[in-house]
């Protein structure tokens, strides 16, 4: 049996590959705990937010519009817009994990975080010979160090609150995390076009209330990315035609 086909080995490799992300997940979770308590949430509400949602960027986005007394529907739509990438992540992993039992797919869905997706997608592409059990094990391995650390750091941040010195600059974790994950993924013109479009439209729509400009930016970026992919596909077909 190849090492990559061994579920236990795959799990340990996933955990090992995910360890560096703790350096940014920790400060990110600490910051959410602090911000959540400062926004008026109690400890139970902060922890429920992190355990049930387990999606840092959408949690911050939802908390921001909640602090602006936005309508509930706006809070929900904002969180969904930020997390819309998870649907694309799921579609991308379906060829590798789609045949797993329902309970396994449910676990994958719950633990669908950026770091787990990025590591797993790259691993599965590089090692197509991995079996379904090994793929599932690797995926769980990637969240094994991340999820518990996320919960624990959120708790510490919520309990410690303002006692964490401002000079620690915990807010650096959010941009650093996404730069580390997004930069390697910008491998095609479609990816670059979608990324640039989202930035430009988000800046242009910054005047919109309750951060709804993010909703517009996300939709426009997806359309642009899809159109670029279609254009490239048509161009490739024309080039291959005799």
CB 70 within 8 A of CB 83: no
Domain ranges of the chain: 3-185, 187-242
Length, in residues, of the chain = 242
> What pLDDT shows up at residue 133?
94
184-225 tens-digit pLDDT: 566 678 878 888 998 899 899 888 876 677 778 878 888 898
Give 179 or 75, the one with higher predicted confidence: 75
27-58 tens-digit pLDDT: 788 888 888 887 788 889 889 988 988 887 78
CA–CA distance, 78 with 216 (Å, rounded to integer): 10
82-103 tens-digit pLDDT: 787 788 788 889 999 999 999 9
Task: Give the torsion through C-alpha atoms of 224, 229, 231, 233, to 10 deg.
Answer: -170
Q: Mean pLDDT score of the chain, rounded to an integer?
A: 82
Q: What is the pTM of this model?
A: 0.72
């Amino acid at each position: 049996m190849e090492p990559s086909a061994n579920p236990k080995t795959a799990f340990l490799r996933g955990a090992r590959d995910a360890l560096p992300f703790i350096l940014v997940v920790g400060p990110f979770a600490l910051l959410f705990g602090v911000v959540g308590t400062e926004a008026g949430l109690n400890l139970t509400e902060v922890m429920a937010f992190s355990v049930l949602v387990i999606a840092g960027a959408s949690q911050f986005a939802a908390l921001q519009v909640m602090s602006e007394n936005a309508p509930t529907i706006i809070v929900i739509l904002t969180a969904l817009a930020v997390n819309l990438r998870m649907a694309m992540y799921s579609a991308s992993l379906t060829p590798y994990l789609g045949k797993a039992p329902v309970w396994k797919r449910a676990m994958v869905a719950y633990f669908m975080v950026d770091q787990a997706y990025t590591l797993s997608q790259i691993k599965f592409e590089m090692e197509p010979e991995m079996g379904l059990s090994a793929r599932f094990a690797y995926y769980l391995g990637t969240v094994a160090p991340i999820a518990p650390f996320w919960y624990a750091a959120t708790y510490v941040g919520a309990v410690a609150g303002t006692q964490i010195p401002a000079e620690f600059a915990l807010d650096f974790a959010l941009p650093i995390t996404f730069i580390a994950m997004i930069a390697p993924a910008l491998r095609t013109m479609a990816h670059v076009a979608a990324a640039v479009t989202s930035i430009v439209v988000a800046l242009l729509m910054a005047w919109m209330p309750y951060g709804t400009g993010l909703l517009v930016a996300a939709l426009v970026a997806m359309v642009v990315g899809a159109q670029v992919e279609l254009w490239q596909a048509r161009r490739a077909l024309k080039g291959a035609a005799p």
